[in-house]
Chain A
Amino acid sequence: MLNTKQGTPPPAAGRAGMKKELPEHFKDYRHVWVFIELERGQVHPVSFELLGEGRKLADKLGVELAGVVLGPAGEATLYAVAEAFAYGADLAYLVEAPLLEDYRNEPFTKAMTDLVTTYKPEILLLGATTLGRDLAGSVATTLLTGLTADCTELDVDAEGSLAATRPTFGGSLLCTIYTLNCRPQMATVRPRVMAMPQRVNKPIGRVIQHDVPMVEEEIVTKALGFLSDGQSSTANLAYADVVVAGGLGLGAAENLKLVKNLARAIGAEYGCSRPLVQKGWMPADRQIGQTGKTIRPKLYIAAGISGAIQHRVGVGGADLIVAINTDRNAPIFDFAHLGVVTDAIRFLPSLTEVFTHRLSPHSRDKLAN
C-alpha cells in the first residue's frame, strides 16, 4: 500500500505493517501543536521542552509549529504566548475565557477539541503532567484518535508519520508506536525527558484567537480552592541540578538521614527508588524512576540503589551519574559514569564531611591562595 514510492516494503509485524492511505478527510491536517500548560498563572517548563521537540518535528515535516494557550484573559496568557514564540513557535492559538481560570476537564477539553477540529493539526503534544494527562485522555477519546503516553523519543518517519517511542513493561523495553488512519497524532511526554531548548532571539509570531463555545453555567464541576505545596521542595525535584537518592541498600528508614544530610551539604534535592516508597520510608512524590519522577540533573548520586531498569528510565538524562553500592555487579554500574563499591551507610557521612570541607569558603580561599 504505502512505502511503494520508496521501494522499501513495510516491516511485516502484524498490524504495524498495515499502514494505510490516510482517509481523505484527514489529509488537510497539518502542523505541529504543543499545548502550553498554564496552571495558576505559571507555564509548566515541560511546555518549553516540548516546543524544542516540536520544532524539530515541524522542521522535518516542513510545517509550522504552534503553541496552544488556554486561560483567562490577562498577563499570564500573554506571557505564555510570548514564551511560546521565544522557544520556537511560529504561531499561537489563544483561547481566553474566564471559565479557563482554574483547570477543569470540561472547558479545557471543549476548548482543545474545538481548536483541533477547526484548525486541524497533524501532531498534538502535551506534557505528561497531571493536567496534561487528564486533558489528553479526554481530547483523544472525543476525537477518536490515538494517544501515546509518556514518550521518551519523538520522530517522523520517511512518510511523515509520527513515531513515538515509550517505555513499556515498567521500562524493561521500549516500543515505537504509530497512530494509523487518525488525526491528530497525539503524544504526551514527561517533564525533563526532553532537553530544554535554547530561547530564540526574535520572539515574534502570529496569534490566532479563538472562542470556547461554552458558558460557565454549562460546567458542572466547580473549583473550590487550591492549596499550594508552597515551599515544598518535592516540586523542584525534577528540575534540580543536583540530586542525591537512596535505595534499599540503606537498610533502614533512619539511614535516609544520611542521604538528606549529604543533599543539604551540597544544596541538592533528595529522592529515592521505588522500594522505599513501597516500604513507606519516603513519600511517593520523592520517588525517582518510571512510575515516579524523571530527573535530569547535572549530578546524580545514587546511594544503595541497585539500578533496576525502572530506575534507569528516570535518571538516564543526568549529565553525571555516581553510584555507591556494595554489589559490584549491581546494574546501576552499567549506566553510571562513576562508581564506588562500598557500603553507602558507612561511606555517606565521610562523603558529606569531605564535600562540606571542600565547598566551604574557608578552604576555597586557601585553595585560591
Chain B
Amino acid sequence: MHIVICIKQVPDSAQIRVHPVTNTIMRQGVPTIINPYDLFALEEALKLRDAHGGEVTVLTMGPPMAEDALRKALTYGADRAVLLTDRYFAGSDTLATSFALSQAIAKIGETFGTPDIVFTGKQTIDGDTAQVGPGIAKRLDLLQLTYVAKIASIDLNTREITVERRSEGGTQTLMSKLPCLITMLEGTNEIRRGSLDDALRAARSRIVKWSAADAGIEDLTKCGLRGSPTVVKRVFAPAARAEKAEQIDTTEKTPRDLADALIAGIFSRQPALEDELAFDGDA
C-alpha cells in the first residue's frame, strides 16, 4: 500500500523570543524541528508499511530549507520525499495550503501510485489550527478521520479501516473505507530511532523537488496570498498587566506561616470562595 504523509518544518516554539521593542518574532538562531504531531503520524505510517508492505512518501510544502525536515524523515525510514517549494506559495493560509498540498498529493498519486492513506499530525505547533488536514481531505474527496488515537484494524482486501478517535469526553470507534485521510494524535507512538541503513540511504537519497508547475498546479490564483481568503491585518504582543503579582513576604517565616498568609490573601480577594471550598472539600 502507498501512504503519503504531510509534515511541516516548524520553529521550535519553546525557543522563540519576541523582540521587546518591535514585537516581532526573533527567528535568528531558533532551531527548526519536524512538527511533533507529524512524527506520531510518520511512525504510524511506517508501522503500517512494515506490517502490510508498500511505500511511505513524505511530503512537505515550504522554503528550500524544509529539505532538512524531509531528510530527517528519510532517516526514520520513509521511502521517498517530495518538497513542494515555490514563491507562489508564500503567504498561504490554511485554505491555500490545503489546495497546494492536495494538488501535490494528486501528482504523487499519478507519479508513484495512488495513496491508500494520507496522514497528517493533528495540528502544527506554530499555526495550531488543525485545519489543513480536513482541508486536504475535502479537496481530494477523501474520507476524513481526525484526532485518531489508534488504528484498530485495516483490511486491504475489503478496503476497510477501523480507528479509535478522541472526542470530547470519550473515544469514538469509526469504521470507514480506504482511501482516507487521518490526522494523528500525540502520544500514541514511540518514535523509532531509524536504522543505520536508513541513515545512509537518507544521506544518498535525492529529494524530489517540485515547483507549482511541476505539481501540475495551473491555477496560481488559488495559491499563496492570492488564494488565501484570510489575511493577517495586525500582529501585536499580548498586553502586559499593569502591576505584578503582590508578593507574600517570605522573610523569617515557616512554611505554615507562609501558608496562613497566602490563604488569607486568597480569601480576602475572593471571600465567597471560602464557603464554596469548604463545601467542596466536605463533599
Contact = CB atoms under 8 A, between A and B. Distances in A.
Interface of A: 11, 13-16, 18, 39-40, 42, 44, 102-106, 109, 129-131, 133-134, 136-138, 140-142, 144-150, 163, 167-182, 220-229, 235, 241-242, 265-268, 277, 283-284, 290-291, 298-299, 308-310, 312-313, 319-323, 328, 332-342, 346-347, 349-351, 353-356, 358-361, 364
Nearest to B165: A130
Contacts of B166: 130
B134 A134 contact: yes
Interface stretch (B42-50, B198-206, B258-266): B258-266
A15 B162 CA distance: 44
Given A149-B128, A168-B235, A169-B13, A138 B137 contact: yes
22 contacts: A130-B146, A130-B147, A133-B146, A141-B98, A170-B128, A173-B235, A173-B237, A174-B237, A177-B233, A181-B229, A182-B229, A221-B145, A223-B172, A226-B170, A268-B280, A299-B273, A334-B244, A339-B246, A340-B247, A341-B250, A353-B259, A359-B277
Contacts of A142: 138
Nearest to A301: B266
B274 to A, nearest CB: 7
Nearest to A42: B169
Given A148-B230, A170-B125, A322-B266, A226 B171 contact: yes
A266 B281 contact: yes
A361 B280 CA distance: 12
Given A334-B244, A340-B250, 11 more contacts: A13-B234, A103-B167, A106-B143, A131-B167, A134-B144, A176-B235, A226-B172, A284-B187, A334-B241, A338-B245, A350-B254
Nearest to B224: A15
B232 interface: yes
Interface in B207-231: 225, 228-231
Contacts of A354: 256, 259-260, 263
Interface pairs A-B: 9 shortest CB-CB: A267-B280, A137-B134, A339-B245, A146-B229, A170-B13, A350-B255, A149-B129, A146-B230, A354-B259
B134 A309 contact: no
Given A335-B241, A338-B245, A138 B138 contact: yes
Contacts of B147: 130, 134
Contacts of B246: 337-339
Contacts of B280: 241-242, 266-268
B187 to A, nearest CB: 5
B240 interface: yes
